[in-house]
Structure 1
Amino acid sequence: MPRHAFESTPLFGGAIVVDLPSNFADVSKLRQVPDNQEVYIDKDGFTSIIVDITERVGPAGGGLEKDGRALTTHLEELVGDDADTVKVWNTTETQLSLLPEGIPAYTLIATQTPRAASEESRQRNAAPDFTALILTLVRLEKENTDILITINVPHIKGEYDEEDVDLALGKQGELIGDAVEYAARIWETFNVKDWNLFNEV
């Protein structure tokens, strides 16, 4: 029995439809979001889900090696200057059930730990102890497009049980566990209704 309620959510004007947690809100109703992005945030927490349509990176042709490099490139672009504070825990090939067969997709789980800020400035900014990322990359070679689905899970002191989380021991804790459930539901329900979307971006 899933712990969360989901609802079918149209993205990019309905060109993509996917189940997202029903307690997540569309950020574009609050502030400007780039046209190639959809951002949803947990109304009761700090987790966000971002779907990003970007130009394909790397050479033509697939395979784990090329796609793995593309995944790394996207991760580095996501975290920017903080790349040296990121640890990737695992990378797996992923099947998005409703996409045409043969479309490669990969998912990695990583954590990004902010550089040691002084305790005082951390409290002021409520900077997370660390942020977990579940990043799924879908490679649409024909469309020359990469779709990135990122679930950002900030872990803020006092908002999670520190003893529950030790990725080195495989202990994900509740927040990452939830995010893994969101990701699994996204892989099952992510559906492209209008492939012309990728000609426009």
Structure 2
Amino acid sequence: MPHGYRKTPLFGGALLCDLPEHFADVSTIRKVPDNQEVYLDKDGFTSIIFDITERVDAPGTGLERDGRALTIHLEDLVGEDADSVKVWNTTETEFSHLPTSIPTYTLIATQTPQPVPSSAEAPARRSAPDFTALILTLVRLEKESTDVLITINVPHIRGEYDEDEVDLALGKQGELIGDAVEYAAKIWASFDVKDWGLFDQV
């Protein structure tokens, strides 16, 4: 089913981006840090997070350095659960409205939670996802000393997805990840910086 999108101003309009119409701005419900914009699927569990962070200075040059920076950001995101993360692929990404000199990369990973002990509360066991897929895009703004992270989190909760349709080892993404890949592609095509001064405030 094709999704509708709407041009969405982020960070007070400093950035513009097409986001799915059925996603809602989380800051209308709860407080979100100033350096973040969070959008949540009104009909599901997927979220899209824009995060403006200080540039990670990794050793090496070019692709090697940027690849390390991507790994560092991923480890920051998952915190203590780093052991339970598997990265399926990492690719250089093209943003239609950014200068080609700006390095941008995307990885797809999955994070599988530790098994919940059987003595734990049954509801906790039920609502914990089987796994969460992450589509993480990194935009490296060297001149601005900034990294922009765009993360699409896709929790897969038992009963909410077709388990037979998902096997990343076989290249089967299933509907939820397939949708998230489409959202990511739409973001790469529409992401536009209207006010570069935004990055001076990080």
Corresponding position of 1:127: 128
Separation in 2, partners of 1:162, 1:118: 22
Given that residues 60 and 141 in structure 1 are in contact (C-alpha distance below 8 angstroms), is that contact kept between their aligned partners in structure 2? no
Would the alpha carbon gap of residues 80 and 12 (structure 1) be closer, same or farther in structure 2, given more than 3 Å must change?
same
Cα distance per residue 1:159-186 (max 9 Å; x no partner): 0000000000000000000000000000
Corresponding position of 2:85: 86
Code of the residue aligned with 2:111 in structure 1: it is: Q
TM-score, L = length of structure 2: 0.96
Would the alpha carbon gap of residues 135 and 123 (structure 1) be closer, same or farther in structure 2, given more than 3 Å must change?
farther
Structure 1 runs of 4+ off > 6 angstroms? none
Would the alpha carbon gap of residues 28 and 80 (structure 1) be closer, same or farther in structure 2, given more than 3 Å must change?
same
Matched ranges for 1:116-195 at <5 A:
116-119=115-118, 121=120, 123-125=122-124, 126-195=127-196
Corresponding position of 1:72: 71
TM-score, L = length of structure 1: 0.96
For the aligned residue pairs, the C-alpha RMSD in angstroms reads 1.4
Separation in 2, partners of 1:118, 1:39: 31
Q: Is 2:114 the counterpart of 1:108?
A: no
Given that residues 58 and 68 in structure 2 are in contact (C-alpha distance below 8 angstroms), is that contact kept between their aligned partners in structure 1? no
Code of the residue aligned with 2:117 in structure 1: it is: S
Cα distance per residue 1:54-74 (max 9 Å; x no partner): 000014885110000000000
Separation in 1, partners of 2:85, 2:122: 22
Q: Look up the SS of the partner of 2:149 in the other structure.
A: strand
Separation in 1, partners of 2:59, 2:193: 22
Gap regions ≥5 residues in structure 2: none
State the identity as a percent: 73
Gap regions ≥5 residues in structure 1: none
Q: Look up the SS of the partner of 2:32 in the other structure.
A: coil
Separation in 1, partners of 2:18, 2:121: 35
